[in-house]
Amino acid sequence: MRPLLIAAALLSIVPPARSAAQSFLGFRALGAPVLASDGRAVGTGNIGIGLRGLEFSVLDPSASARLTLPTVSASMQPTWGSFELEDETGSSNTTRFPLIGIGFPLPEARGVATFTLAGFMEQRWTGERSELIDLAGEQVLVEDRFETSGGTSVARLGWAQRVFRQRLAVGVSVGAYVGRLEQSFDRTLDSLSIGDRIRPFSELSEWRYSGYTLAAGISADPHDLIHLAAAVEWSGDITETPRPGTEGAANTYSVPLRLSGGGTVQLTPRFQLNGSIAWQDWSGATGFPDGAVSHLKFTYGAGLEWRAVQQETRSVPIRFGYRRVVPPFRYHRYDPIETVWSAGLGFNIVEFAAIRLGWIDLAAEYGTRDSHPLSERFWRGTVSLGISRF
């Protein structure tokens, strides 16, 4: 009963929509992507598919087929970043909650029903401007501030099924894009020029996101030492609809097909390597301003996991990894690339036959993100908690 209370507490305090990429990338489009992975995948450089023992994956619906007990997992990511934009520099920090997953095995059907809530795209940044304007025959100094906050998440319902003597698993999921975007424009006019009774101008625009996505995945263990997975995800258009009180027409953006795959090789009983790759071609996506989308297509990552401490029902793995991510939207006209080095530490508090029933995963990443003239650096931590058998 107590773990159940903990799980309830976790879900009550973790709002996935709070996620924040804290990047200027994609300011003309949907923002910067959120890599919705837990601390183990982050630590091993995995992009969310093909990692043996992964409990929840937003890429691969079949990943949860290994769950044997009702399980809940949540991740939290504090981030500290800095940027250079030609002659400007600045910093940022935030905390995000990129992934919440719930899995519920149904023994009669030999499958697992899953629910995940994961970040997809985020827009959180502020632009400022000072200029002189002609107003009422005077040159008036105005200060403008434009703040964007919000993003898109995906809520998915999935089903993972083990077949063929437990060596093969298939899964499907259906998801809905959810989320909202708030944009505030504030203009302050210089009171010395125009008088102290003038009020600043503030305008708040709110938008709601909607859309659907379908995914299917397959994972297999063709050999005791090898795990493989592949998945495909199709998305309908994402619709950005103004909320009541916001002027403007709805915008529709297409999301291209995503193909992904990955695998894990067990080199020794305590040491494994993994690699994963995703292909998604945004260059033909519609609805975005000209030149906003990247032509790069491949995101990949690789890493290793070594169980430094291994006991009968507990273990402490150490992880290292590298990822190269291609965000879909540029800053100006140069394709962006994000490179991330990561390290992680796991505390598998309760596990049985390599199935984790209670765990905490910690990961630290250092990454760079470049899309000339924008250059961003960040340190990011990930803390994930998973609990089964409640």
DSSP strand pairing (99-106 vs 374-388): unpaired
Minimum distance from CB of 65 to another protein (Å)? 8
Name the residue nearer to another protein (CB basis): 72 or 255.
Answer: 72
Strands (DSSP E) contained in 8-98 are: 32-33, 71-85, 88-96
Is the Cβ of residue 134 or residue 284 nearer to another protein in the bound state? 134
Q: How far apart are CA 384 and CA 390, in angstroms?
A: 17
3-state secondary structure of 18: helix
Least Cβ distance, residue 109 to another protein (angstroms): 9
Q: How far is the CB of 257 from another protein (least distance, A)?
A: 28
By beta-carbon proximity to another protein, the closer residue of 278 and 292 is: 292
Q: How far is the CB of 31 from another protein (least distance, A)?
A: 12
Total residue length of the chain: 390
Look at residues 338, 255, 340, 343 and name the one whose alpha carbon lies nearest to residue 298: 338
* Minimal distance, residue 279 CB to another protein, in Å: 27
- Across the chain, which distance is largest between two alpha carbons, in Å? 82
Cβ nearer to another protein, comparing 23 with 213: 23
Q: Which is nearer to another protein, 200 or 366 (CB)?
A: 200
Shortest Å distance, C-beta 224 to another protein = 4
Judged by CB, which is closer to another protein: 205, or 254?
205
Q: Are 358 and 350 in contact (CB under 8 A)?
A: yes
Question: What secondary structure letter does DSSP report for 105?
Answer: E
Helix, coil or strand: residue 256: coil
Q: Per 3-state DSSP, what percentage of the chain is helix, strand, and coil (rounded to 5)?
A: 10, 60, 30
